[in-house]
């Protein structure tokens, strides 16, 4: 059942959507065009709308030039492990801040929030020194540990858990459920949409992370995809076709992850007791 | 359950987080803070000299002001676009899944790729955009030279609108439809329902979006670093970009640490204010 | 009581792991970590210089010494960032390519890279500094110490021109001085073609002010862009090319330096000033352009700006002698010639320039001529440790004048003041 906001509102909605959709998608389609250009077309200085001859070989050139399958695996291990860790810890901490009362809560929350406000490269060098003496350079734990959880996810979960009715928790407590069980069986199931969002964003962010893998690895076999992509810039010009081809490869897993969570997001909402 | 017991439980749940943040945030940041008290050589103690230096540094002041302008522009435009899209796509429109996915694509793309892509597209001489404008008889743009900061705002909104939209969508779907039905029975029209139910109940999401948006825009460094190099002149040298240059180009880590502490204080104050206003509005 | 299950134990376990890990971190470096790396030899290199000629040398070196060669390639800004972090943590590579002359001096005076004079003195056969072009050596020395060995030597200041466009406008020779340059630029500017194209990167301004006998810096006297009238003349002339004569588009401020080359390749610019690195892209992208490459212009003097990377050894490298041995192999004249043949790169050795293969090649001969007129670099600026900071200030000033049309005299004065304060 639908009401009209004004006559033709549906058409207006589609006009807005199509316009913004085009603005969004055309630059990315152009990236595909770039990826399929020949070296000469990239150098020619004339923007090419459609390559004379589609260079599918650019993709295989990537894998010949560097062990991209290994970069892919490294990125996947790093982003995957961090995402799992976030899904375990962020909702738990967010729940504590949303629903529990305890001395020091306000200070603890502000302390957690304050960690959001420092650019990563500020804490990067001390962590790098520590990890170097631990022998954690060029290791997965070195790539993963600085990002096990973050204030962003905690804040996200707190904001989603806060509006949940307290009666749910009280009722479970009356039934004799332990605190952890309440969190696990009562709160978490309500959070599926938020968890999908958290998982997606964490994965995307870490998958594309550049600075830390650059610093924390110094062997080819431990590099991640975003670092691998920089191998194709020459000293005085960008080898656009290969960079764009790499960017497309970089994009595939995040897109897949999105397709999966998008479905889950809708299901999670349908199942949640909120409606 | 007693207060005492709840406090114990709370801190028990928080233990991993306490350890993590202490060791991987506060320890290194504290270390940086100490560095901030020293000269660039890391040996001579200058106390708060690096801090007072920051207040007299026209480059720092300039970067701070343009960062505020950038943050304000990005927040206002980004939130409006994101919320608008979420409200439209929360309807039962055929094809909405497609639009949702398409609009989120830029966010799934790495910021370095986004930066490189737009740098390539917008180049007035060899970029594709001017070639297309030319083809349809329009004058070419030179936005990167004439409106550099607004261009960076535009690219940020372009890449972040889908993300804001998804957060708002999740928020919208968390609003019990019961409320809307009750309001409808009471005779409230769609606009009234939007302002009386949607906006207030979205407050936690809006708060989240605006705080996270503020924090990330005040820390934006990748886009100027990749697209403009902070130029032309220093027109897009945002605060965090300036900070990165001071640390990794000038190798002045003492001063960089002082600058990062100042950034922390500013963001902290602004977000606490936002949080307080938000929580009050929420209560 | 909170109820425990597997997951909560998992959490506690993870917490304890992190605690334990960082606890160990506070203790001094573990020998185990060092030992594992003993047979690995790590090299940082520019991603654009990964020539086959070097790869063969490096592979062979690994075989000879039973080392695992770890050849890491970066973009220059990334390499600098990584190296900064490495120097601060003490976890350093064994050999590093130096972005340009002077960088090694800056690191060396801070104790981060080694002075290489003792190695060179003990290795007569290698021929340093005797076999090297003076300018490339002198720019890397400070108070009798040399902190890097030149690897490549190029010059910014070559005049690229489109022979077809020039002859269509009635010129059968490229310009040799500023008056001719402006005349030809005006004559070739029409419709969508610009007579010339300036670069947004400030290092491309160097040939112009060098040609007015202007020194970028004299750090000893705390002077910048002096003499002032020459600096004013050079920058004003560049600004006029864009805003008064309108023979060059205003460059756009990006981190990409290839704008002028792309315009030239697209036949939208008749001339531009750059270095040998743009020859390859033009020939590849637009083989139909009849490309001319001429020696640097003469303003008050004929001049070009030196460019080209070097090699340096971190002070904490595991085995500096081994690193030196690899330098001697990478910078051997036969490897230089192979890299030239492969990539067209020009080199710092006199015996390279004298080689028949080089002397007979017309564009290499032009490059060699411009190498002979490169301007002297201010060693004291590198030694001050403030070179990078002052270059950043110069970038701002240059873009304000060239892109944002700021008044030249005032902007130069502001730059001198800020740069002086930074010193």
Residue B122 in domain: yes
Residue to test with chain C: of A62, A129, A135, A229, most C Cβ within 10 A: A135
CATH number of the domain that residue B165 is part of: 1.10.3720.10
Smallest Cα distance from B247 to chain C, Å: 9
Residue C237 in domain: yes
Three-state helix/strand/coil letters over B101-113 = HHHHHHHHCCHHH
Q: How many residue pairs from chains A and C have C-beta atoms closer than 8 A? A: 148
Res. C190: pLDDT tops 60: yes
Residue C95 in domain: yes
* Shared domain check, C186 and C222: yes
Residue B235 in domain: yes
Contact list in C for residue B9 (CB cut-off 8 A) is 2
Do residues A85 and C13 make contact, with C-beta atoms less than 8 angstroms apart? Answer: no
Q: What is the pLDDT of residues C111-130, one digit of tens each?
A: 999 999 999 999 999 999 99
Residue B31 in domain: no
Residue B2 in domain: no
* Shared domain check, C294 and C168: yes
* Shared domain check, C143 and C67: yes
Of B192, B193, C265, C46, nearest to A48 (Cα)?
C265
Q: What is the DSSP string of C218-246?
A: EGGGTEEEESHHHHHHHHHHHHHHHHTS-
Count other C-beta atoms under 10 Å from residue A59's C-beta: 16
To which residue do tokens 């400030």 refer?
C202
Is B125–C19 a contact, with Cβ atoms under 8 angstroms apart? Answer: no
CATH number of the domain that residue C99 is part of: 3.40.190.10
Residue B159 in domain: yes
Res. C34: pLDDT tops 60: no
pTM of the entire predicted model = 0.87
Is B108–A95 a contact, with Cβ atoms under 8 angstroms apart? Answer: no
Residue B140 in domain: yes
Residue C172 in domain: yes
Residue C229 in domain: yes
Is A125–C93 a contact, with Cβ atoms under 8 angstroms apart? Answer: no
Contact list in A for residue B221 (CB cut-off 8 A) is 119, 121
* Shared domain check, C252 and C335: no
Q: Which has more pLDDT, C356 or A5?
A: C356
Q: How far apart are CA A166 and CA A174, in angstroms?
A: 12
Residue C10 in domain: no
Res. A219: pLDDT tops 80: yes
Q: In Å, what is the CA distance from C15 to each residue of A80, A153, B8, B21? A: 19, 18, 17, 11
Q: How far apart are CA C305 and CA A203, in angstroms?
A: 46
Is A235–C14 a contact, with Cβ atoms under 8 angstroms apart? Answer: no
Which chains have at least 3 CB atom pairs separated by less than 8 Å from chain B? A, C
Residue C89 in domain: yes
**pLDDT classification of C299: cutoffs 50, 70, 90:** very high
Tell me what the mean pLDDT of segment C402-416 comes to.
95
Res. C250: pLDDT tops 50: yes
Smallest Cα distance from A1 to chain C, Å: 44
**pLDDT classification of B279: cutoffs 50, 70, 90:** low
Do residues C310 and C385 make contact, with C-beta atoms less than 8 angstroms apart? Answer: no
Residue to test with chain B: of A17, A48, A122, A272, most B Cβ within 10 A: A122
Q: Which has more pLDDT, C192 or B11?
A: B11
Of C150, C32, C28, nearest to C100 (Cα)?
C150
**pLDDT classification of C37: cutoffs 50, 70, 90:** low
* Shared domain check, C180 and C315: no
Smallest Cα distance from B217 to chain C, Å: 20
Q: What is the pLDDT of residues A178-218, one digit of tens each?
A: 889 999 999 998 888 889 888 988 999 999 888 899 999 98
Domain that holds residue C198: 155-306+386-422
Mean pLDDT of chain B: 86
On the 0-12 / 13-18 / 19+ scale of CB atoms within 10 A, A58 is buried
Name the domain count of chain C.
Answer: 2
Q: Does A16 touch chain B (CB under 8 A)?
A: yes
Name the domain count of chain B.
Answer: 1
Handedness of CA C239, C243, C246, C252 (dihedral sign): positive
Tell me what the mean pLDDT of segment A237-253 comes to.
86
Strands (E), C303-401: 305-307, 310-312
Q: Where are the alpha helices (DSSP H) in A8-104?
A: 9-35, 39-43, 57-65, 68-99
C256 closest CB neighbour out of A92, A137, A238:
A238
Smallest Cα distance from B245 to chain C, Å: 8
Residue C116 in domain: yes
- Pairing status of strand C305-307 against strand C154-156: antiparallel
Do residues C235 and C408 make contact, with C-beta atoms less than 8 angstroms apart? Answer: yes
ipTM confidence score: 0.86
pLDDT in the model for residue A115: 86
HSE (side-chain half, CA atoms, 13 Å) at C55: 9
How many Å separate Cα A167 from the centre of its chain? 34
Q: What is the pLDDT of residues B53-101, one digit of tens each?
A: 888 889 999 999 999 999 999 999 999 999 999 989 888 888 888 888 8
Res. C386: pLDDT tops 50: yes
Tell me what the mean pLDDT of segment C372-379 comes to.
89
Q: How far apart are CA C397 and CA C378, in angstroms?
A: 20
Q: Which domains, ranges and CATH numbers included, belong to chain A?
A: 67-229+256-271 (1.10.3720.10)
Helix (H, G, I), strand (E, B) or coil at B39: coil
Domain that holds residue B53: 49-282
Handedness of CA A117, A122, A126, A127 (dihedral sign): positive
Nearest-5° angle of CA C402, CA A237, CA C59? 140
* Shared domain check, C412 and C287: yes
* Shared domain check, C348 and C283: no
**pLDDT classification of A44: cutoffs 50, 70, 90:** confident
Contact list in C for residue A233 (CB cut-off 8 A) is 47-48, 75
* Shared domain check, C133 and C171: no
Residue C378 in domain: no
Residue B247 in domain: yes
Quick one: what percent of chain B has pLDDT higher than 90? Answer: 28
* Shared domain check, C171 and C120: no
Q: Does C45 touch chain A (CB under 8 A)?
A: no
**pLDDT classification of B194: cutoffs 50, 70, 90:** confident
Residue B21 in domain: no
* Shared domain check, C409 and C285: yes
Q: How far apart are CA B170 and CA A201, in angstroms?
A: 13
Do residues C207 and C259 make contact, with C-beta atoms less than 8 angstroms apart? Answer: no
Q: What is the pLDDT of residues B11-21, one digit of tens each?
A: 999 999 999 99
């Amino acid at each position: 059942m639908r009401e009209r906001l004004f006559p033709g509102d549906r058409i207006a909605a589609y006009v807005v959507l199509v316009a913004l959709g085009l603005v969004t998608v055309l630059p990315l389609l152009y990236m595909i065009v770039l990826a399929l250009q020949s070296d000469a077309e990239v150098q020619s200085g004339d923007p090419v709308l459609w390559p004379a001859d589609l260079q599918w070989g650019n993709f295989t050139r990537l894998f010949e030039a560097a062990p991209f399958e290994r970069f892919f695996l490294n990125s996947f291990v790093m982003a995957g492990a961090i995402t799992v860790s976030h899904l375990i810890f962020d909702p738990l901490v967010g729940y504590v801040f949303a629903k529990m009362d305890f001395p020091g809560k306000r200070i603890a929350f502000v302390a957690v929030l304050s960690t959001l406000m420092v650019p990563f490269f500020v804490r990067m060098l001390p962590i790098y020194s520590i990890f170097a003496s631990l022998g954690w350079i060029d290791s997965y734990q070195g790539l993963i540990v600085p990002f096990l959880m973050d204030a962003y996810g905690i804040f996200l979960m707190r904001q989603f858990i806060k509006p949940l009715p307290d009666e749910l928790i009280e009722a479970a407590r009356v039934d004799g459920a332990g605190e952890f069980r309440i969190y696990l069986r009562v709160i978490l199931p309500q959070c599926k949409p938020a968890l999908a969002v958290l998982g997606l964003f964490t994965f995307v962010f870490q998958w594309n992370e550049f600075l830390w893998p650059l610093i924390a690895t110094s062997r080819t076999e431990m590099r991640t995809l975003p670092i691998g992509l920089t191998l194709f810039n020459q000293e005085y010009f960008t080898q656009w076709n290969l960079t764009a081809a790499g960017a497309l490869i970089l994009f595939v897993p995040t897109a897949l992850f999105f397709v999966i969570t998008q479905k889950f997001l809708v299901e999670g909402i349908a199942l949640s007791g909120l409606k | 359950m007693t207060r005492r017991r709840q406090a114990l439980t709370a801190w028990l749940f928080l233990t991993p987080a306490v350890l993590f943040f202490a060791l991987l945030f506060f320890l290194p940041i504290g270390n940086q803070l100490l560095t901030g008290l020293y000269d660039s050589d890391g040996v001579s103690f200058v106390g708060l000299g690096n801090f007072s230096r920051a207040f007299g540094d026209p480059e720092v002041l300039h970067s701070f002001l343009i960062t505020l302008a950038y943050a304000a522009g990005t927040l206002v435009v980004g939130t409006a676009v994101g919320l608008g899209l979420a409200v439209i796509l929360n309807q039962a429109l055929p094809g909405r899944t497609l639009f949702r996915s398409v609009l989120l694509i830029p966010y799934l793309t790495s910021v370095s790729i986004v930066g490189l892509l737009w740098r390539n597209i917008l180049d007035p001489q060899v970029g594709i955009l001017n070639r297309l404008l030319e083809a349809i008889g329009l004058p070419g743009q030179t936005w990167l030279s004439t409106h550099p900061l607004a261009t960076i705002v535009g690219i940020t909104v372009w890449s972040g609108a889908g993300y804001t939209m998804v957060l708002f969508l999740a928020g919208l779907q968390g609003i019990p439809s019961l409320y809307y039905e009750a309001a409808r029975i009471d005779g409230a029209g769609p606009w009234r329902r939007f302002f009386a139910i949607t906006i207030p109940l979205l407050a936690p999401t809006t708060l989240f979006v605006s705080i996270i948006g503020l924090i990330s825009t005040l820390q934006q460094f990748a886009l100027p670093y990749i697209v403009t190099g902070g130029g032309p002149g220093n027109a897009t040298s945002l605060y965090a970009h300036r900070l990165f240059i001071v640390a990794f180009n000038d190798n002045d880590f003492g001063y960089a640490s002082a600058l990062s502490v100042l950034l922390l204080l500013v963001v902290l104050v602004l977000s606490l204010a936002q949080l307080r206003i938000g929580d009050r509005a929420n209560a | 009581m909170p109820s425990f299950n597997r997951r909560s134990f998992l959490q506690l376990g993870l917490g304890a792991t992190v605690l334990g890990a960082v606890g160990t971190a506070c203790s001094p470096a573990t020998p185990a970590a060092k030992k594992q790396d003993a047979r690995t030899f790590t090299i940082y290199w520019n991603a654009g210089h990964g020539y086959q000629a070097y790869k063969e040398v490096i592979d062979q070196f690994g075989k000879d010494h039973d080392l695992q060669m770890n050849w890491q390639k970066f973009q220059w800004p990334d390499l600098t960032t990584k190296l900064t972090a490495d120097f601060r943590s003490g976890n350093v590579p064994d050999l590093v390519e130096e972005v340009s002359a002077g960088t090694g001096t800056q690191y060396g005076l801070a104790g981060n890279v080694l002075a290489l004079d003792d190695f060179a003195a003990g290795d007569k056969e290698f021929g340093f500094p005797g076999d090297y072009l003076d300018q490339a050596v002198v720019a890397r020395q400070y108070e009798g110490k040399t902190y890097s060995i030149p690897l490549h030597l190029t010059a910014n200041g070559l005049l690229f021109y489109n022979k077809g466009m020039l002859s269509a406008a009635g010129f059968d020779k490229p310009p040799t001085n500023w008056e001719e340059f402006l005349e030809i630029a005006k004559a070739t500017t029409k419709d969508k073609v610009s007579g010339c194209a300036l670069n947004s990167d400030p290092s491309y301004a160097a040939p112009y002010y060098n040609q007015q006998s202007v020194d970028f810096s004299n750090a000893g006297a705390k002077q910048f862009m002096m003499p002032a009238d020459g600096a004013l003349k050079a920058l004003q002339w560049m600004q006029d090319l864009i805003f008064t004569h309108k023979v060059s588009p205003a460059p756009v401020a990006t981190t990409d330096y290839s704008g002028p080359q792309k315009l030239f390749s697209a036949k939208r610019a008749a001339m531009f000033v750059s270095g040998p690195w743009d020859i390859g892209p033009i020939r590849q992208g637009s083989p139909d352009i009849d490309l001319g490459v001429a020696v640097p212009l003469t303003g008050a003097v004929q001049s070009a700006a030196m460019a080209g990377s070097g090699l340096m050894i971190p002070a904490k490298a595991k085995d500096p002698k081994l690193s030196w041995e690899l330098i001697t192999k990478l910078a051997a004249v036969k490897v230089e010639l192979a890299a030239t043949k492969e990539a067209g790169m020009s080199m710092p050795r006199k015996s390279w320039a004298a080689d028949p293969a080089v002397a007979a090649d017309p564009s290499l001969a032009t490059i060699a001529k411009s190498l002979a007129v490169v301007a002297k670099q201010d060693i004291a600026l590198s030694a001050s440790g403030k070179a990078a900071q002052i270059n950043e200030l110069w970038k701002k000033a240059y873009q304000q004048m060239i892109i944002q049309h700021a008044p030249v005299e005032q902007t130069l004065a502001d730059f001198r003041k800020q740069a002086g304060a930074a010193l």
